[in-house]
Each structure stands twice: as structure tokens, then as C-alpha cells.
Amino acid sequence: MSNHTSPIRLFLALETLAFLTAASVHLGLSLHGYEHRQAGTAESVIGGVLLFGLALTAIRPASTRAVGLGAQAFALFGTLVGIFTIAVGIGPRTALDLTFHIGIVIVLVFGLIAAVRGPWSVQTKR
């Protein structure tokens, strides 16, 4: 793995873990009292997209920047939709949910910055 792609892959891994953990909470698999099926489904989809992106960066390292940008932009958009649902009273409104959304937006923004600053293509050693 190139030094230029390491931060992007690290962000993708961290974000995947965060979304799949949040999904497990909302689906009642790891922490009870915070179940919300729609939120768990949305977080599962976002986590799956990030995991797929992470896998693609391993298969096609030269595409790491583009994949990182796409997967994280999708995740940020989904998170902003989640914040909107909280604001209008559709989504879960616990302190845990608000903290997660604020924290993951910060992580996603920094991940996108890392992807923007990364090289468009990475030369692999032969």
C-alpha cells in the first residue's frame, strides 16, 4: 500500500466500522434501547458501500482516490439525510444518535479531505 493511499484506506476502514457498529445498535444486535429499524437499515447500506469501497481499494489501488471520494461522498450524503430526519422528528433523537452524527460528519469531512489531497493514480511496484 502506498503512503498516499494509506490515509484514504484508514478512513474507509474507520468509517465502515462506525456505520456497521451504529447499524448493530439500531438493529438491536449490540445495545438495547436504541432500536430503530430504518436507521439501522440506512447505516447498514452506508457501511456496506464503505466496505465495498475499501475492498475496491485493495483490488485496484490505482483507483483509491476516486473510490475514496465516491464512497465517502455517498456516506456523507446519507448522514446528512439522517441529520435531516432527526431535525424533522422522523429519525431517532437520542444523545447517542446526535453524538454519532456529529462525530461521523467530522470524520467523513476529514476523510474526503484526505481523498482530495491524494494522488489521482498510484503507481504500483512490479
Instruction: For residues 94-114, give the mean pLDDT.
Output: 96
* Confidence band, pLDDT 50/70/90 cuts, at residue 120: low
The residue whose grid cell reads 493511499 is 5
Beta-strand ranges (E) seen in the chain are none
Indicate the pTM of the whole model: 0.89
Q: How far apart are CA 78 and CA 65, in angstroms?
A: 20
Cell triple for 77 = 450524503
Contact 50, 71 (CB under 8 A): yes
Give the CA diameter of the chain.
54
60-85, pLDDT tens digit by residue? Answer: 999 999 999 999 999 999 999 999 99
- C-beta atoms surrounding 62 within 10 Å: 16
* Confidence band, pLDDT 50/70/90 cuts, at residue 5: low
Cell triple for 121 = 493514480
| pLDDT for 2 beyond 90 | no
pLDDT at 118: 79
Cell triple for 19 = 456505520
